[in-house]
A and B are shown apart, each in its own frame.
Chain A
């Protein structure tokens, strides 16, 4: 890819960094949106991710594809963000409000539940499902992003499939 651009940005050239942001902001934002399902929260996460990009760009060593590296960064920002949300809003239902802005309302509730259920399945499950199903990555690519092996991703996808097909899971998703 535009390796030269990244190298210039790593070298401290702000113009190149700005260009890099322009190129990738949409990716960052859209993925953040899928992660949390809420425009304003996605903006927050995206902004965090951009700032983090500024601080940690120098750590990018051109070993993985830049987008994979970027996805990992967004995911870690999103997770930080959620933790901080939970810290302030420790009442309950931290996700509920975040889940109300899908384009079509029924879809919204349904997807909100899918995301919530996925999040409950265990660590990395939601991320795996998003990368594989929503972003259309291969298991190997998703593994590279999440820093786990390809077979782990395959196992996770399998678990998700198994779990979501189960009657309890269906019952827990009230939309039908």
Chain B
């Protein structure tokens, strides 16, 4: 390729013909603008008169009345005409003086400020007086749909002046006001249009409805029109029988959570405040496919809404939302000997990364959470024996493959695995997003299949209820025992994406359902399946989190299953699952559903320990620096460790949690941070026998039905004895995964580590790999190697 081909391709670039509707819209908007500009110029002219030319004005208005009235020729007007003649005569006297005083000022003003306006200020003042159409009216004939007219009937316009047929100066303020009123109507309309355009630009919102649109809709009132905007629903107090009644019954408008109170709705026909586009924002974006062919007037709205759906060529992962975070830095043991974090058993990040790599692109950096990638795999850490002490930690020290002279400390925990027969009964409520955006093979259909898989891992006495949102409102299936599997499957298969805009208070209803069938001592859990549109009837993120948290205290937990991509809101999914004592998993394939909901069903459903926190205190005598790999979003404060009120991650039955520290032992030549020249290195505490320890590990957890935490402690010894073969192998594999995750995040600390090294390392540590996950990992690393960032 050379510059020739660039020129050629630029030349070849043929713009498509503009869309006639867009053209019309642009033209209309421009003409409005045009009218506004010229109206504004007139305003300026009037302003000018008002401040500097009041007496003179009396003359003009009087003259004007005279002319107008004579053309009407009505007898009742004749009297006014005569009176005005007198007024005119009186005015002339005053005006003679006025003009003499004001004329020089006026001509200056005209030169300086109204250059752009071809009408000199005097004519601007005169124009309405001459009885011509004001400019506002002149253009409306050409501008397509008529904007609301100022349209005061002519005689009315005369009235204030007529009644004020006293001395001319007194008449002028009245007429001034009259004119101002006209202008206000025009401006209000303009401003709404502008606000609407602004709303679309500012918020990235896809739709907005303005007064002009409303006039073209067939609805009874504005509330109903608003309902056309995705993510807006209205609720009625009484179900009305006739459509005409319906208008009065709107009790509130719910806008993606934020509510416009009834007060604002009192007089729906006077115009409702537009939905706050900021709160509608992302949530409303690209989620909606219209249920029925909309009338022409609204088609453009829907077309805008549909654009993201149409441009499927390149999946647009830029819209998926992830929490931004910085990689954990290297810390000095001397400064900060204690590291505290919360357990994390989520695996969503790995699935998301896999999905991106499978389409040949590197994932967004913030979507890579190294600890979630590590914890995606099941490791051979020894299991605890009883539910009472539900886990025992495994600590292994190995050489760091990417930092010479540094070491890796693996901390592995395997949760106690509840035998299937002892598993508590489950009361599950599936909360499914069936909005239009779920209409994609990897969304609702996959979610339905996943749920069917889930049924196979439940006991016959467990119950399953189904609630949907953003669609055919509410409960689809009352909690039904799993032994009636056919009934549940039939209900699931009935679900169709799309449906009407009238959504449900999805999440609240799901909790109500779970509460009504609450199982004491059992598992009460809501599984939320969504593609990221959390338009579930409760406002903002924080309110939602608080709601989930309160319900958690009542014993109802929440897990989030993410589907699809495009507007996936990972951050929120994570936060909700964390607040709901559940896992956030991202399901990109049926295989992943199999893993999460069948093989690891126990782990996903049955919590064996709540609020699991880990704290490591490093020994300054043996360790100079340390760095926690991953867990950036799970960091806790040192004092949070012993505070039972601080929420942390939960571990399910049979879950493994793995954390890796990279440490630089004292005396290593490869310290990242140089020794301080002035501060003294801490002296190792003498003769306490701790010289054989790198540090001390503490784990706090709560049993599922307890509110007080328990403590597990274990020293991290420099040379652990008898590490079994399979544990060593899994240490190597998890190291490979950790290396991969760090490389995807930019590889700040991984030195010369390459994808090749990771492949080699992972290959030799694959082990049995009964489900093929580790083989898949090796494939992923290969894909990352060839993936080029677009």
A43–B19 contact, CB under 8 A?
yes
Assembled-state Cα–Cα distance A91/B321 (Å): 9
B6–A114 contact, CB under 8 A?
yes
Enumerate B107-151 residues with CB–CB distance to A below 8 Å. Answer: 116-119, 135, 138-139, 141-143
Assembled-state Cα–Cα distance A57/B128 (Å): 24
Number of residue pairs spanning A and B whose beta carbons lie under 8 angstroms apart: 164
Stretch at the interface among B20-28, B80-88, B216-224, B346-354: B20-28
Q: With an 8 A cutoff between CB atoms, is A119 at the interface?
A: no
Q: With an 8 A cutoff between CB atoms, is B484 at the interface?
A: no
Contacts of A84 in B (CB 8 A): 201
10 closest Cβ contacts across the A-B interface?
A: A14-B139, A58-B116, A50-B30, A54-B33, A30-B15, A54-B34, A47-B26, A33-B15, A133-B10, A43-B22
A1-39 near B? 1/0 per residue, CB < 8 Å? 000000000111111011001100110011101100001
A97–B318 contact, CB under 8 A?
yes
A39-B16, A173-B1 given; name 16 further pairs at CB < 8 Å: A15-B141, A17-B139, A18-B27, A30-B18, A31-B15, A47-B22, A47-B30, A53-B30, A54-B30, A55-B33, A58-B116, A88-B201, A114-B9, A160-B6, A164-B1, A164-B2
Stretch at the interface among A63-71, A102-110, A137-145, A146-154: A102-110
Do A129 and B9 contact each other (CB < 8 Å), given the known contacts A54-B37, A92-B318? Answer: no
Chain A interface: which size bin?
35 or more
Q: How far is the CB of B59 from chain A (nearest CB, A)?
A: 25
Query: Of B9, B33, B142, B788, which contacts A174 at CB under 8 A?
Result: B788
Selected A-B contacts with CB under 8 Å, 17 pairs = A12-B117, A14-B135, A21-B26, A25-B26, A42-B18, A43-B22, A43-B26, A54-B31, A54-B36, A96-B314, A100-B314, A102-B13, A105-B313, A114-B6, A129-B6, A133-B7, A164-B2
Measured CB to CB, the residues of A under 8 A from B are 10-15, 17-18, 21-22, 25-26, 29-31, 33-34, 39-40, 42-43, 46-47, 50-51, 53-55, 57-59, 84, 88-89, 91-94, 96-97, 100-103, 105, 107-108, 110-111, 114, 129-130, 133-134, 136, 160-161, 164-165, 170, 173-174, 176
Do A50 and B314 contact each other (CB < 8 Å), given the known contacts A89-B204, A134-B11? Answer: no
Q: How far is the CB of A93 from chain B (nearest CB, A)?
A: 5
Assembled-state Cα–Cα distance A33/B10 (Å): 12
B26–A50 contact, CB under 8 A?
yes
Q: How far is the CB of A176 from chain B (nearest CB, A)?
A: 7
Contacts of B36 in A (CB 8 A): 54
Secondary structure of the A contact surface, majority rule: helix
Query: Of B33, B117, B318, which contacts A91 at CB under 8 A?
Result: B318
Contacts of B788 in A (CB 8 A): 174
Enumerate B15-62 residues with CB–CB distance to A below 8 Å. Answer: 15-19, 22-23, 25-27, 29-38, 41
Assembled-state Cα–Cα distance A53/B11 (Å): 27
B9–A50 contact, CB under 8 A?
no
Query: Of A40, A50, A105, which contacts B27 at CB under 8 A?
Result: A50
Query: Of A59, A136, A160, which contacts B11 at CB under 8 A?
Result: A136
Contacts of A89 in B (CB 8 A): 204, 318
Contacts of A102 in B (CB 8 A): 13
Q: Which residue of A lies closest to B194 (CB)?
A: A51
Assembled-state Cα–Cα distance A34/B33 (Å): 25
Contacts of B41 in A (CB 8 A): 12
Q: With an 8 A cutoff between CB atoms, is B304 at the interface?
A: yes
Do A46 and B26 contact each other (CB < 8 Å), given the known contacts A14-B139, A30-B18, A164-B3? Answer: yes
A165–B2 contact, CB under 8 A?
yes
Contacts of B141 in A (CB 8 A): 15
Contacts of B304 in A (CB 8 A): 40
Assembled-state Cα–Cα distance A94/B141 (Å): 40
Q: With an 8 A cutoff between CB atoms, is B203 at the interface?
A: yes
Query: Of A39, A42, A47, A160, which contacts B29 at CB under 8 A?
Result: A47
B10–A21 contact, CB under 8 A?
no
Q: Which of B12, B22, B138 lies at the interface centre, i.e. has the most chain A CB atoms within 10 A of its CB? A: B22
Contacts of B9 in A (CB 8 A): 107, 110-111, 114
A88–B26 contact, CB under 8 A?
no
A134–B3 contact, CB under 8 A?
no
Contacts of B1 in A (CB 8 A): 164, 170, 173, 176
Contacts of B3 in A (CB 8 A): 160-161, 164-165
B37–A55 contact, CB under 8 A?
yes
B305-332 near A? 1/0 per residue, CB < 8 Å? 0011001011010100000000000000
